[in-house]
Each structure stands twice: as C-alpha cells, then as structure tokens.
Amino acid sequence: MQEISLSQSFALLGLAAELTRVVAEQGYTEPTPVQAQAIPVILAGRDVLACAQTGTGKTAGFTLPLLQRLSAASPTAAPPPRRVRALILTPTRELAAQIEESVRTYGQYLPLQSTLVYGGVNINPQIEALRRGVDILVATPGRLLDHLQQKTANLAHVEILVLDEADRMLDMGFIRDIRRIIALLPARRQNLLFSATFSNEIRQLADGLLHVPAMIEVARRNAESELVAQRIHPVDAWRKRELLTHLVSSGDWRQVLVFTRMKSGANRLAEQLCKEGIEATAIHGNKSQPARTRALAGFKAGTVRVLVATDIAARGLDIEELPHVVNFELPNVPEDYVHRIGRTGRAGSTGEAISLVSIEENPLLADIEKLLTRRIDRQIVPGFEPGRPPPHLLAAAQAVERGGRDGQRRGSGQGKAGAQRTQTSATPPVRPGASMPARASQAPLPTAPRAPQSARVGAALPVLFRSPTRRGS
C-alpha cells in the first residue's frame, strides 16, 4: 500500500468539498493515522480489515468515505424511494448512537438519510423511520433481526457493510446473529471490518467475509496509550469505596469513569458515592436505554461527576478529554484492562488510569502486567495501608476471645464443690464390702503462659476473615 503523509489535509485524501467543509467546521485539520490509511482505499471501493483501538478516529475513517461513495452514486434528480444502501453493525447501543450522530454530522451537506435501530426502546418509531426510507442504517444485531423478522427492514440493496468493534461483537456472542444478517445481503458489496484486536476468531470471520482486503493496523496489538499515566493503589478490599471517595474529593476530580465487574456492584457503588455527597450514576445492560442516555448526557455535561460502568456498557463510549479512569475492580480478562484505560488519553489528550487492587486481585494484576510486558507503578495512599482486618471482623474476633475468657472464669468459679461434683459423677459406685480404689495423685497440671490479647484476637481472624477465590465475581 502506498505510504500516505500524515501532514496532508483531508482534501488530499480525495474527499469531496462537502465533506472537507464539515470536517473543517468540526475543528479537524489533519487526518489521524487510521483515517489517512483507510479513507483512500475505501474510496477506491476495496474491502478493508483494520485493527484500530477506540479513540483513534476510526469512526470518521469509515464514515467519511462511505458518505462520499453513496452520494457519488446517487442521481441528482428524481431520486427513487430511499432504501438501505449502507449497513453499520455495532455491539452496543451507545456506540450505535454515536456512530449515527457522526453520520448525520458529517453528512449534513449531502442528500442522504440515516436512522438508528437498537433494543431497549420502543420499536414503533424505528419502524416508521424505516418505512419513510433511509440510505444508511446503524444497528445492533439483535434489534436488526427483530426488524428483519417483522419485515420492517430490507437489506436487499446494501452496497456497503461495516462491522465496527467486531471483536467485542464476537465476545458478546453475536457471531450467529451476524452470520444470519450477512446471509440476507447482496453477494456483491464492499465490506469494512474494524476491530481492536486481530484474534484468530476475527481472522476466520474476515476470511469468509472480505475479498482481497487492504490491511490497516495503526496500533500494536493490545497496546495501551502512551498518553495514559497508569498507577496501582494497593488497598484492602473493604476500604476501596472509602479510598475512591478520598481520591475524588481530595483531588477535586470532576469527571471520573469507574469500572466494576458486575451490574449489581455498579449500582451499589453509585448509591454509596451519592450518600457521600458525590454525584454518581451507573450505566450497564440492565438500565433502560433512556436511563443510559440520561446518565451519559449528565456525565458529559458535568452534572454527574462519577459514571460507574461495566465493561460491556462502556465499550464505545466516546467522551472527549476524559481525565480519569478508575478500575474499582480489575477485569478477569487482561485485554479488557487495555480497553478500559483506552477511555482516557484519547485524541492527543493526556489521562490517568488508577487501579484499586486488593491482595486477592494480585493474580489478575500479574496477568495484566504480563500482557503489557511491564510493571505498573505501585503507590500506597497514606492512611489506606493494606493489611488491617475490617472493623466488624475485628470486633467479632474480640468477642470470640472475650467469650473464651468468660467461659474460663465461669469454669474456675465452681471451686472445690464443683470439682467434687465432677469427681463424684465420674466415680463408679462401690459395692458393700468391696475395698476402695487407691486415690490418684493430686499433683497440679502444668499451665502454658497466656498469650497477649493481640495475638489471641489475631488467631481468631482466619476463621472469620477468609479470602475470596481468585476469579470470583
């Protein structure tokens, strides 16, 4: 492939005046590496297999040439009824909404119509939009299949297919849905596949989908951004929420994206932060689409300081100049760590990625550092040194130890009478005329020195304070 100078303007990539105008109005002057490589080959009509992380400008990299190819092939007079000519499939609702917004923004001076279909919202407005006719359809696989089954969408005239975040779609189990959708497309079409990684599964999908594709790779596989400062704060698991509150408050952080593993954990953490006076909300798959849209809008507007998200919900979030990402819990899959911290340090801006790591998560941290081939800096926050048991477990252990002392005192309080009763009950009756057995020696038994209280309490803790398994959720 011909090497393209990154210093050239968008116009030199072959884009039409309507597109270069809107790009300039958006404040962009030079293409990113993925745009500089992808735009010319897509304009030439070739299939593309591109490996690009989020935040590299890949959405504009396929949206701009797609718009130009469709507009160039459209007649200027008496256009026929609109039909879907370009299909863009994405794994999540948020990413689909952002891509469709980009299509409308970049295509504002072109005679093309787009619409968006995804689950979690009323299907009827989508049906009405499809009936009116669209040129570009942005969809998630599940909802698109709903439309296809109801015959409210027709893919018989698709000229360009885009699979964005293909690796995440495979991870989420969409491969069967994707194959069902592809089977309904015309055999002759242009295919564009974008993925953050080139796994074996992605290559197998590409082999059956793409025809002599142009290969584009603008980032090393699983490479974390050099603009992201990464740091580990070792801390006991029971103090993570307290430490997060301390970091947000003391640092006056105004915009923080926090990752948890589970949906329930995201809800619980957001509620706890709100009780601490920090505006927070959660975003995950169980939230309705309107609630997710409101949460993201509030976060972007600054009315919400902390957005707590799961991995799937955060995939594709496009938040400009996000300064802080916090891993409240490390992910079970090391590659997800790279995707998480990729939310910050984007488009030339610097960012900070902080992970709150308990001792139980050290194996997960080792897997992440193996993937990154480097050690992440550790910093203990004063006042949050790990190694102390939670207060409720310490109190329980002290209660166990006190109970043991009380029992010993009650036993010794029986005195001689108690000892005699014990001995009498243990001595068998003697028949008349039988000789008495010889008395056993009454020498006292040796006693061990009593351990200090701190040691006794510590001995009770292992029973009360068991560590969770390595990969528990």
Is residue 369 within 8 Å of residue 350, measured between CB atoms?
Answer: no
**Distance (Å) of CA 101 to CA 153, 208, 265:** 20, 30, 31
pLDDT-based confidence at residue 427 (cuts at 50, 70, 90) = very low
Is residue 283 within 8 Å of residue 313, measured between CB atoms?
Answer: yes
Residues with Cβ within 8 Å of residue 366, at least 6 apart in sequence:
none
Instruction: Provide the H-helix boundaries in 223-306.
Output: 240-250, 263-275, 289-301
pLDDT of residue 77: 44
Lowest mean pLDDT among 214-228, 233-247, 388-402, 420-434: 420-434
Quick: pLDDT tens for 305-329: 999 988 766 665 667 668 899 999 9
pLDDT of residue 322: 82
pLDDT of residue 371: 85
pLDDT of residue 70: 95
pLDDT-based confidence at residue 4 (cuts at 50, 70, 90) = very low
How many angstroms separate the CA atoms of 265 and 4, rounded?
A: 47
CA dihedral 97, 103, 109, 110 (to 10 degrees): -120
Q: Please report how the helices 58-72 and 33-43 are oriented relative to each other, as an axis angle in degrees rounded to 10.
A: 20
pLDDT of residue 168: 83
Whether the per-residue pLDDT at 249 is higher than 80: the answer is yes
pLDDT of residue 353: 92
Strand order in the sheet with 48-51: 114-117, 136-139, 86-89, 160-163, 190-195, 48-51, 214-217
Q: What mean pLDDT is predicted for residues 128-137?
A: 95
pLDDT of residue 118: 93
Domains of the chain: 11-217 (3.40.50.300), 228-372 (3.40.50.300)
pLDDT of residue 393: 66
3-state secondary structure at position 318: coil
Exposure string of 264-274, with b = 16+ CB inside 10 Å and e = fewer, is ebbbebbebbe
Q: Tell which phi-psi region holds residue 303, choosing left (phi > 0), alpha (psi between -120 and 50) or beta.
A: alpha
pLDDT of residue 464: 42
pLDDT-based confidence at residue 113 (cuts at 50, 70, 90) = very high
3-state secondary structure at position 145: helix
pLDDT of residue 418: 47
**Distance (Å) of CA 393 to CA 69, 179, 284, 366, 444:** 66, 53, 32, 29, 37
Quick: pLDDT tens for 260-269: 988 889 999 9
Quick: pLDDT tens for 211-222: 999 999 875 444
Q: What mean pLDDT is predicted for residues 418-433?
A: 46
* Residues counted in the chain: 473
pLDDT-based confidence at residue 441 (cuts at 50, 70, 90) = very low
How many angstroms separate the CA atoms of 254 and 322, rounded?
A: 10
> Which one has a higher pLDDT value, 186 or 294?
186
pLDDT of residue 27: 80
> Which one has a higher pLDDT value, 94 or 68?
68
pLDDT-based confidence at residue 170 (cuts at 50, 70, 90) = confident
Q: What mean pLDDT is predicted for residues 177-191?
A: 95
pLDDT of residue 397: 65
pLDDT-based confidence at residue 117 (cuts at 50, 70, 90) = very high
Q: What mean pLDDT is predicted for residues 87-116?
A: 92
pLDDT of residue 30: 84
pLDDT of residue 224: 54
pLDDT-based confidence at residue 52 (cuts at 50, 70, 90) = confident
pLDDT-based confidence at residue 55 (cuts at 50, 70, 90) = low
Residues with Cβ within 8 Å of residue 261, at least 6 apart in sequence:
310, 311, 329, 331, 332, 473
Q: What mean pLDDT is predicted for residues 181-196?
A: 94
> Which one has a higher pLDDT value, 1 or 447?
447
Q: What mean pLDDT is predicted for residues 293-305?
A: 87
Q: What mean pLDDT is predicted for residues 204-210?
A: 90
How many angstroms separate the CA atoms of 82 and 105, rounded?
A: 19
CA dihedral 12, 16, 17, 20 (to 10 degrees): -60
pLDDT of residue 410: 59
Lowest mean pLDDT among 15-29, 50-64, 283-297, 384-398: 384-398
pLDDT of residue 407: 59
Secondary structure percentages of the chain, helix, strand, coil, to 5: 45, 15, 45
Whether the per-residue pLDDT at 291 is higher than 70: the answer is yes
The rounded mean pLDDT for the chain is 80
pLDDT-based confidence at residue 225 (cuts at 50, 70, 90) = low
pLDDT of residue 392: 66
pLDDT-based confidence at residue 66 (cuts at 50, 70, 90) = very high
Residues with Cβ within 8 Å of residue 22, at least 6 apart in sequence:
105, 106, 108, 109
Whether the per-residue pLDDT at 80 is higher than 90: the answer is no
Quick: pLDDT tens for 139-159: 999 999 999 999 999 999 999
Nearest partner of 106 among 131, 147, 138, judged by Cα: 138
